[in-house]
Amino acid sequence: MSRLDLFIDRMVSQRACLDHAAALVGEMSGPVFELGLGNGRTYHHLCSLLPPRDIYVFERAVASHPDSTPPDDRVLLGDVFDTLPEALVRFGPTARLIHADLGGHNAEKNDLFARRISPVLSPLLAPGGLMVSSDRMYFDDLEEMPLPAGAVPGRCFIYRR
Ligand code: SAM
């Protein structure tokens, strides 16, 4: 597979999984966490699916497209290893959806990062809440869910508490 093929599969899978997860948590209360703003494409998509004021963005440096930049009071600025524990104190285990897209181009580094971040993320999710991730995560206490139609296995993952 070419890098273009892999990129397209990841984008198509992100969209399919976010659409699916947002529909499943639509009736739940609780915040939505977007981890990794980047250009803001997935944030912009989430805003089309769920109330934008419910969405809190975790990012170490905001550099998104102007159309896809969250309001200041919905940004938790800094390294997620600092801001996620702070969010647990602030929100408790209430997140109805967490989307994590924090990885870069190095698959090995992404996997190491996923192993470190998994136990930090898991306590934030509400019972019945969903986690969508571009990388395989390492949870003892969350169940991996089947992917929706249109998502490519291995390019996106969904977990539920
Ligand atoms: N979802 C975005 C989009 O659709 O445009 C792309 C996100 S990009 C792949 C990853 C982002 O995660 C980068 O903007 C990077 O700054 C952020 N990031 C990576 N590691 C982080 C960390 N430890 N703490 C906070 N942000 C981090």
Domains annotated for the chain, with CATH where assigned, are 3-160 (3.40.50.150)
Q: Which residues of 103-132 are buried (b: 16+ CB within 10 A; e: fewer)?
A: beeeeeebeebbeebbeebbebbbeebbbb
CB 121 within 8 A of CB 131: yes
9: number of Cβ within 10 Å = 17
How far lies 130's CA from each of 63, 104, 145, in Å? 27, 23, 9
Question: Measured from the CA of 78, which atom of ligand 1 is nearest?
Answer: 25
Question: Measured from the CA of 79, which atom of ligand 1 is nearest?
Answer: 24
CA of residue 93 to ligand 1 center, whole Å: 23
Crossing angle of the two packed helices 41-49 and 3-25, in degrees rounded to 10: 30
Ordered DSSP codes for 89-152: HHH-S-EEEEEE----S-HHHHHHHHHHHHHHHGGGEEEEEEEEESS----SSSEEPPPPTTPP
What pLDDT is recorded for position 124? 98
pTM of the model: 0.97
Q: Which amino acid is at 42?
A: T
- Along the 161 residues of the chain, how does pLDDT read in single tens digits? 999 999 999 999 999 999 999 999 999 999 999 999 999 999 999 999 999 999 999 999 999 999 999 999 999 999 999 999 999 999 999 999 999 999 998 999 999 999 999 999 999 999 999 999 999 999 999 999 999 999 999 999 999 99
Neighbouring residues of 7: CB distance < 8 A, sequence distance ≥ 6:
none
CA of residue 52 to ligand 1 center, whole Å: 19
CB 91 within 8 A of CB 124: yes
Residue whose CA is closest, atom 22 of ligand 1?
79
ipTM exceeding 0.95?
Answer: yes
70 lines ligand 1 (CB under 6 A): no
